[in-house]
Amino acid sequence: MNSTAGTTATPGGAGSVSTEAAEPVIALEGIGMTFRHQQVLRDVTIRVPKGQTLCIIGESGCGKTVLLKLMIGLIRPTAGTVRFEGMDLNRLSSYELNQVRLRFGFLFQMAALFDSLTIYDNVAFGPREHALYDERMLRRIVHERLREVGLPIGIEPKKPAELSGGQRKRVGLARALALDPQVMLYDEPTTGLDPIMSDVINELILQTQRTKHTTGVVVTHDMKTVTKVADRVIMLYPLARLKPDEPQILYDGPPEALEDHPDPRVRQFVRGEAGERLSELSNERG
């Protein structure tokens, strides 16, 4: 079984905390996931303590986004158990699972805004759908969340097509925060953004974790995001390139130990080096 033992450092080197020190908010135990005949995850165990920001890295196709969907109960594992605060998601009724999901915020890879709705209605969608507030309170919440992500109130009547990629990402974050989530899930939050806007998103992730004391899970290929926001990093490896007895988690620990990790596969990914992958890809095509 993949190990989750290790020590994690808070961003900025403010100290370290054991991954075993706190009761996990999210616990994936012995997870396996197969789609038709393709196995994506094998015997993966990950426990995320309250308040931790975990970054999950790895090559495309290794199951990173699948893990996020499992954590929020959008899909069920082929094997193993997903728990939120000790509750087995597979054992919950549809109503109970929906109540659990209200405690999550999800920033999708391309923001996934509703094109036909205004920015105001996009941010208000979650609380309005679940009848959490009256319209007066909802308007205040929408204003606050947009301000928190650095967007002016004047943006509210616009449609997503009128915004830049960075603005859409920030609206997506404001929408996720409108539910006042306990856990934030981020799927490739800086994909498609220029370096400056990527850093804006990273700063907003940090701001969210610090001011709202949320637990965060970030799926990313961006090593700048990892070094800036992560308390802990897990690196997955594609099953097709592993031996049957090899664990899928190659690394589980603090971001500062990635660069000089003894496993060359970890160093290669972190440094963005092709290595033998070019010849492997050529063989795959053949």
pLDDT in tens, 185-242: 999 999 888 999 999 999 999 999 999 999 999 999 999 999 999 999 999 999 999 9
Contact 137, 147 (CB under 8 A): no
The continuous run of DSSP H or E covering 54 comes out as: strand 53-57
Which of these, 5, 21, 9, lies nearest to 232 by C-alpha position? 9
| C-alpha–C-alpha distance, residues 17 and 53, integer Å | 12
- Quick one: tokens of 271? 């440094």
Model pLDDT, residue 5: 39
Model pLDDT, residue 1: 42
* 92: pLDDT strictly greater than 70: yes
Model pLDDT, residue 21: 52
Cross-strand partners of 249: 236
Confidence of residue 3 (pLDDT cuts 50, 70, 90): very low
* 16: pLDDT strictly greater than 70: no
* 18: pLDDT strictly greater than 70: no
Whole-prediction pTM value? 0.86
Of 127-131, 158-162, 178-182, least confident by mean pLDDT is: 127-131
Model pLDDT, residue 15: 34
Q: What is the mean pLDDT of residues 34-48?
A: 95
CATH of range 7-103+181-285; options 3.40.50.300, 3.40.50.1820, 1.10.150.120, 3.20.20.300: 3.40.50.300
- Quick one: tokens of 77? 């594992």
- Quick one: tokens of 257? 């130990």
- The string of pLDDT tens digits covering residues 142-167 is 999 999 999 988 999 999 999 998 99
Q: What is the mean pLDDT of residues 93-120?
A: 90
Average pLDDT of the chain is 88
* 126: pLDDT strictly greater than 50: yes
| C-alpha–C-alpha distance, residues 59 and 200, integer Å | 24
